[in-house]
Structure 1
């Protein structure tokens, strides 16, 4: 598989799974087993980016003057050129790259109320960040799906808490030094090669860098408040330089080129770990992650379920699309609710009997394993685990 797989979306999104509030991600995972043709769980691969549709644009009061400028007099404003009304929600929810190199950027002449706290310029086809200086109270600046090539002209926006530049044409992280109150930064789906320029963002809680060209995890271990780090769909080969991220809860590294699970020992609060679609062959070095509740390891080269002894809080375990032959070493996971083992090599019915200890198990995916050739296999699973409510994509009766 060489670490490559189809990136599909929910949310994100992967990962579009977006948090109900911008500090929680990846909760709306789509089970690939329920859709046999889906190669990977999108939410686990790339967490869902903040949903543009959730922006409170409905309350915006936009008044057009006699010129082409727009005057925005609300604390939550959607600003779009009136000529582009039909384009403003085009492709909403599309996680694929929507920006075209040959698309012509547009100039928007805008005037904002100085008290505006949110500006939404998603899908506005703007090519340059400008005219934001008067936003003295701005907290959210949403610039998704545009043609922006450079982060610039926002140094005065010191009140900014959330900056979204998802799906643009950025190549460098720059000019963020003064944004010391920034809590959420979304630079996913760009062309960034290095993680840098984040030195002063000491209040950052969520960093989205999914689908770029990043080859190394670096320059993030000073971000002491970081709770979510999204690096899915890049070119990373080694898990490294995460020491110091003491409050990190969610780590998404799906669709990279990682061969070994390592250097996670310091992440004592980690709750979600996604390593889907990499080059792993062994489950290892998870002993210190005792708070882990969701572990996504589908689309790798795993042959054995092992080394999960200390991960007793696991609720979701995704091992789909591997080479596993035996279900084992999970009887102690008494809180396990979802087990994804579709598209493996499980053939022994005796292996299924080990599930009788997993009394909290609600959902199991075993389709496309040799044992499912038995037309009665769902009934047999139900006999072993009568508490299960869903087997594959079918509700268990």
Structure 2
């Protein structure tokens, strides 16, 4: 079953500075895809053994073409991860399909999907798609994964009223735009793009998870309308100040690692904050850390690789300020 490239639940147990909406390091890139045809093994054909099957797993089979699928009259889930497929085609008869995974192939265009009117999950991550299109009839779509492609613009998704998750990490997007109409969206992943500003998110009233890691942000702004936001990931940008979170009272996880922030401020009002990741910044004043004393639900604090962490009594002092925390950096408190 397709799942988000970010496991947000498990992310809290790992180094927050390494979290991203797409884990490129652990997945083969397009360079490796091209090498598959040179391994000497003949590409396989799709053979249907059980026409009544509800699930067909053809992962890592050197399949070049989507074909011979007509006998599948009851199929709900198709998995074609890590193959040699270049074109989405021959799916017209698969009206029962609910989940289609084409992760890690050689697809350049989203096309020939109109017949999949019951599709709920579509994963075309790690391909060569340049444009979001061809989704006009997928009104039941709930999760759309398009990370690690060549997409430069967010477009043609406004009609997807049931969409709860949109993954566009590791593309070439410069502007957050055209998200109006996504009334059910809960998770938006935009990590590793070229975004310079947080904007055009006011329509996403149901959003709970926002990741804009590894971009070109210099300011936290325009989040006032996201009053249900629970997890905010902004690591690896150029942020210099914690600000703009006055109305985001539901935040439980705040990731600001690997920025240029000098002071811990403007978080005292986040009464539900449990995870605060500020490692690899420029905090050099203990009075700054004292401002976390009002966050009584805080469980984990990452402040390593800040100037204050060089203090020989770093952990002891932080524990005195925050006696209720259970983890400081990667180490559990005793």
2:183·2:204 contact (CA, 8 Å) conserved in 1?
A: yes
**Which residue of the other structure, out of 336, 339, 343, is the alignment partner of 2:280?**
343
Partner of 1:178: 115
Aligned residue for 2:105, secondary structure, equals coil
- For residues 77-98 of structure 1, what are the alpha-carbon distances to aligned partners after superposition, in whole Å with 9 as ceiling and x for unaligned? xxxxxxxxxxxxxxxx952237
Partner of 2:22: 46
Partner of 1:107: 44
Are residues 1:202 and 2:139 paired? yes
1:40·1:277 contact (CA, 8 Å) conserved in 2?
A: no
**Which residue of the other structure, out of 267, 276, 294, is the alignment partner of 2:213?**
276
Q: What is the CA-CA distance between 1:302 and the residue it aligns to?
A: 0.4
Q: What is the CA-CA distance between 1:387 and the residue it aligns to?
A: 0.3
- For residues 157-206 of structure 1, what are the alpha-carbon distances to aligned partners after superposition, in whole Å with 9 as ceiling and x for unaligned? 00000000000000000000010000000000000000000000000000
Quick one: distance in 1 between partners of 2:298 and 2:68? 54
Q: What is the CA-CA distance between 1:332 and the residue it aligns to?
A: 0.4
1:12·1:47 contact (CA, 8 Å) conserved in 2?
A: no
Quick one: distance in 2 between partners of 1:32 and 1:263? 31
Partner of 2:323: 386
Q: TM-score, normalised by structure 2?
A: 0.94
Partner of 2:258: 321
Would the alpha carbon gap of residues 285 and 151 (structure 1) be closer, same or farther in structure 2, given more than 3 Å must change?
same
Partner of 2:29: 97
Q: What is the CA-CA distance between 1:103 and the residue it aligns to?
A: 2.5
Quick one: distance in 2 between partners of 1:165 and 1:315? 33
Q: What is the CA-CA distance between 1:47 and the residue it aligns to?
A: 8.1
Question: Superposition pairs for residues 190-339 of structure 1, below 5 Å?
Answer: 190-339=127-276
Q: What is the CA-CA distance between 1:385 and the residue it aligns to?
A: 0.7
Would the alpha carbon gap of residues 360 and 109 (structure 1) be closer, same or farther in structure 2, given more than 3 Å must change?
closer
Quick one: distance in 2 between partners of 1:268 and 1:112? 46
**Which residue of the other structure, out of 296, 301, 313, is the alignment partner of 1:376?**
313
Aligned residue for 2:315, secondary structure, equals helix
Quick one: distance in 1 between partners of 2:105 and 2:225? 38
Would the alpha carbon gap of residues 134 and 310 (structure 1) be closer, same or farther in structure 2, given more than 3 Å must change?
same
Partner of 1:29: 11
**Which residue of the other structure, out of 54, 71, 75, is the alignment partner of 1:134?**
71
Give ranges in structure 2 of 5+ residues lacking alignment: none
**Which residue of the other structure, out of 346, 350, 357, is the alignment partner of 2:294?**
357
Partner of 1:82: none
**Structural RMSD (CA):** 1.7
Quick one: distance in 1 between partners of 2:152 and 2:13? 28
Would the alpha carbon gap of residues 225 and 144 (structure 1) be closer, same or farther in structure 2, given more than 3 Å must change?
same
Q: TM-score, normalised by structure 1?
A: 0.80
1:207·1:230 contact (CA, 8 Å) conserved in 2?
A: yes
Q: What is the CA-CA distance between 1:249 and the residue it aligns to?
A: 0.1
2:33·2:105 contact (CA, 8 Å) conserved in 1?
A: no
2:14·2:330 contact (CA, 8 Å) conserved in 1?
A: no
Quick one: distance in 2 between partners of 1:157 and 1:110? 16
Give the length in aligned residue pairs: 327
Q: In terms of mean alpha carbon deviation, does 98-107 or 224-233 score higher? A: 98-107
Partner of 1:87: none
Give ranges in structure 1 of 5+ residues lacking alignment: 1-10, 18-25, 49-92
Quick one: distance in 1 between partners of 2:15 and 2:220? 21
Name segments (4+ residues, structure 1) moved above 3 Å. 30-34
